[in-house]
Amino acid sequence: MAETVTRVQTAFRFEPELLERMKRMAKKKKVSLNQLVEQTMDRETRLELPAFLEGDQISDEIKQLHCLNLTRPTEEEFAADPRLEYLWNKYVEY
């Protein structure tokens, strides 16, 4: 059985040219405009951290994440990925 994902209805205002470009891109990708907007927003806001094993060397790049003003992951995202919570607490919120 597929997991049900809750969606929140919202509205955005776009410049007409941007909206037309988005509609053309959605048609080209054979997805709905809503799917395109959701995929784009998800891709642009997803916190991508490299996989690591305990004891691995942490790069200077990761240590500088606190400078990026990243959006804090939800408690559910932390629960799903303990590595994310560890890196966030160690290098972003200190």
Instruction: Express each pLDDT in 3-21 by its tens digit.
Output: 787 888 889 899 999 999 9
The confidence band for 41, taking pLDDT boundaries of 50, 70 and 90, is confident
* 71 and 91 assigned to the same domain: yes
% of the chain beyond a pLDDT of 70: 70
Whether the Cβ atoms of residue 36 and residue 26 lie closer than 8 Å to each other: yes
* 26 and 68 assigned to the same domain: no
Residue 4 lies in a domain: no
* 55 and 42 assigned to the same domain: no
What's the number of domains the chain is made of? 2
* 55 and 80 assigned to the same domain: yes
pTM for this prediction = 0.49
* 94 and 69 assigned to the same domain: yes
Smallest CA-to-CA distance from 18 within 10, 26, 28 is with 26
Per-residue model confidence as pLDDT tens digits over 57-77: 666 666 666 555 667 788 888
CB-based contacts of 33: which residues, under 8 Å, 6+ apart?
22, 23, 26
In this prediction, residue 24 carries a pLDDT of 94
Residue 69 lies in a domain: yes
Q: Is 88 exposed, middle or buried (0-12, 13-18, 19+ CB in 10 A)?
A: buried
Structural domain for 78, as ranges: 47-94
Tell me the HSE value of 67 on the side-chain side, using a 13 A CA sphere: 5
* 63 and 86 assigned to the same domain: yes
Mean pLDDT, rounded, for 68-88: 78
Residue 66 lies in a domain: yes
